[in-house]
Amino acid sequence: MKFIKNFKIKNKLFILVMTSIIFLITISAVGYVYMSQMSNNTKEMYTERLIPIKNINLIRNNNRALDSFVLELIITEDRAKQVDLETKINERFQQNNQLMEEYESTGLYGDEKQNFTHLQEHLKAYERELNEIVALALAGEREQAYTAYSTQLNSVRVSVSGYSDVISDSNIKASEHLNQVNVEMKNQATMIMLFVSLLAAILFTCIGWVIINLITNPVKEIQNLMSKAEKGDFTIQGKVDSKDEIGRLTQSFNSMINGIQGLITQVSQTSEHVAASAEELTASTEMTNKATEHIARTIQELAAGTDQQVHSVGETKKTINEMSEGIRQIAGNAQNVSDTALITSEKALEGNETISNAILQMNSINQTVSLLGDTIKGLGERSKEIGSIIEVITDISAQTNLLALNAAIEAARAGESGRGFAVVADEVRKLAEQSAGSAQKISTLITSIQSETQSAILSMEQAFTEVNEGIGIVNTAGESFQQIQSAVKEVASDILDVSSAVQQMAASSEHILNAINIVNEVAATAVTGTEEVSSATEEQLASMEEIAASSHALAKVAEELKMLIGNFKV
């Protein structure tokens, strides 16, 4: 078991678990093998022994039924009953044949096969004899049928019964043998499983006891060593006789003890050195304390001077701020004026463009009015021509009316033959009168149009004069807008120059203000620094006093530490 000692704890536990698993698998395998064999034997007993016995018994029952059917067939005279009995006999023969085929399919071996062949032959002979008896009975020869039944069929029946008994006995013996084999296999399996279980329990207990001791004994030993170390004995060392986790734990424990031994030795030496250094520290602290007091007085004087400088810089900063604010206002106003001048220049440019458009529009109106005047004059001329035409039409209407009157007079003279012509003359007269009336109306309208046309011509001439005057005024306004635009551009340029100069002044004042702020911050930082240094020197004085007290206490602690270290064994 020595080689197990160097195994890791998980491997030791793995061995213990695998041992139990191996025995469990062995027991399960034995049970499975024997149970499989017993199952096969049971299956063989059922399919190859019990089913053949069942078939033989069914054949016997069918033969008994056949005997009863044949006797009833011999006795009865009812034809329908005879047909029914014949059908039942044939059905029983078919059942016997099926049972024999089923029996043969189970598998036959040795004497069983020979006995089955004899039984099959005698059953066929039994069927032939029985069919002959049935034929005699159906033919009405009852006495011959009964004689054949009691003599010939009886001998065949005895043979069939004998072979059936032999086959049944053979199957029963084979079944008993299989049952005995199953009982023996069950006993063997029980003995093997009990033996393996007992062996597994013994072996598992032994291996478990060994592994438990290999784990617990080193742990108890380390526990005892730690109890000694708790009491101050650091001369102890654990035995390392394995390479498992507990062996490495023992090595680590020994390393820890060695480290503590070295630490205690070093602490002892350090305590002596600390005691000597504490005395030197006390002397140095007193000298440092005096120097710190002198530095503190100097820093306080420097802080007072720096505070005055900060006050002066603050006043200067205030003045520069006011000046910078004024410059920023001037820059803002200059920028506003510059923006306004630019807007005015843009508006003047827009007005100039508008005047130019107005001039073009007035010229267009002038041309349109001139054309319209010419058109109206032409319309007056056309009206006069239409008046002349109307006068001609009026004269023609008068002449036509006169001719119509003359035609009417001549028609009246002609009497009855001129009556149609009189009607035409009357219609012509009416048309002439209507034409004269329409010409008069048109003449009136033409006169009115000529009057209105004359008024339009006068209005157009007046409009033409006014348009020419408007063109002159608009041209004058355009020239004025151009002069305004030029002046605004010059003002905007001058204002931009002023704005740029003011912005440069504002930027310069900002730089001056930033410089003053930096100076102020530096001065404030200097004041804060001197105050902090002064405070630090005061704190350093207090610290020096505390260090002096601590150095005395440190010397005392070093002496106590030396006494305590003396209690440890290294």
pLDDT mean over 377-384: 68
Q: What is the pLDDT of residue 296?
A: 56
Three-class DSSP category at 490: helix
Q: How many whole angstroms separate alpha carbon 38 and alpha carbon 127?
A: 41
Q: What is the DSSP string of 149-197?
A: HHTHHHHHHHHHHHHHHHHHHHHHHHHHHHHHHHHHHHHHHHHHHHHHH
Tens digits of per-residue pLDDT, 526-565?
557 556 655 755 665 576 566 666 656 766 766 766 676 6
pLDDT digits (tens, 9 = 90+) for 435-452: 677 767 767 876 776 676
Q: Are 426 and 403 in contact (CB under 8 A)?
A: no
pLDDT in tens, 208-229: 787 777 777 777 777 787 787 7
Contact 513, 324 (CB under 8 A): yes
Among 97-101, 273-277, 295-299, 413-417, where is mean pLDDT lowest?
A: 295-299
pLDDT (mean) for 354-367: 68
- Per residue in 256-271, pLDDT (tens digit) is 777 777 777 776 677 6
Q: What is the pLDDT confidence band of residue 94, given thresholds at 50, 70 and 90?
A: very high
Report how far residue 33's alpha carbon sits from residue 21's, in angstroms, rounded to the nearest whole number. 18
DSSP 108: -
Name the phi and psi angles at 231, rounded to 5.
-85, 0
Dist. CA 232–CA 569, nearest whole Å: 7
Strands annotated E in 441-556: none
Q: 566 by DSSP, 3-state: which?
A: coil
Instruction: Tell me which of 101-105, 117-121, 392-396, 494-498 is least confident.
Output: 494-498
Averaged pLDDT for residues 390-415? 72
The mean-pLDDT minimum among 86-90, 469-473, 495-499 falls in 495-499
CB 43 within 8 A of CB 104: no
- Residue 569: strand, helix, or coil: strand
Instruction: Say how far apart CA 545 and CA 548 lie, in whole Å.
Output: 5
Rounded Cα distance between 220 and 222, Å, is 5
Long-range CB contacts for residues 95-102, cutoff 8 Å, separation at least 24: 95/58, 95/62, 96/59, 96/62, 96/63, 96/123, 96/127, 99/55, 99/58, 99/59, 99/62, 100/55, 100/59, 102/51, 102/55
Instruction: For residue 569, list its beta bridge partners.
Output: 233
DSSP track, 1-66: -HHHHTS-HHHHHHHHHHHHHHHHHHHHHHHHHHHHHHHHHHHHIIIIIIHHHHHHHHHHHHHHHH
Q: Which residues, 6 or more positions from 257, have their beta carbon under 8 angstroms from its beta carbon?
A: 229, 234, 236, 237
Instruction: Tell me: pLDDT of 523 over 60.
Output: no
CATH number assigned to the domain with residue range 2-224, chosen from the 4 options 1.10.10.1100, 1.10.260.40, 3.90.1150.10, 1.20.120.30? 1.20.120.30
Q: What pLDDT was estimated at residue 91?
A: 92
* Nearest Cα to Cα of residue 249 among 287, 281, 219: 219
pLDDT for residue 321: 66
The domains of the chain are located at 2-224, 259-565
Q: For helices 152-230 and 51-75, what crossing angle results, to 10°?
A: 160
With contact defined as beta carbons under 8 Å apart, do 470 and 362 qualify? yes
Of the pLDDT bands very low, low, confident and very high (cuts 50, 70, 90), residue 84 is: very high
**pLDDT (average), residues 298-325:** 58
- CA angle in degrees (0–180, nearest 5) for 81-85-91: 150
Bridge partner residues of 233 (DSSP): 569
Q: What are phi and psi of 233, to 5 degrees?
A: -90, 105
Nearest to 422 by CA among 405, 435, 434: 405
Region for 415 from its dihedrals, namely left if φ exceeds 0, alpha if ψ lies in -120 to 50, beta otherwise:
left
Write the DSSP symbol of residue 233: B
Q: d(Cα 201, Cα 27) in Å, to the nearest integer?
A: 12
Higher pLDDT, 264 or 100: 100
Cα–Cα dist 347/462, whole Å? 34
Nearest to 439 by CA among 388, 384, 391: 391
- Over 80: is that where the pLDDT of 33 sits? yes
- Per-residue pLDDT at 88: 92
Q: What is the pLDDT of residue 101?
A: 86
376's CB contacts (< 8 A; 6+ apart) are 453, 456, 457, 460
What's the confidence (pLDDT) of residue 87?
92
Tell me the three state secondary structure of residue 139.
coil
Q: What is the mean pLDDT of residues 40-44?
A: 74
The pLDDT tens digits for 270-307 are 766 756 665 665 665 566 556 556 655 655 665 565 56
Q: Please tell me the class of the 259-565 domain.
A: mainly alpha
Under 8 Å between Cβ of 324 and 516: no
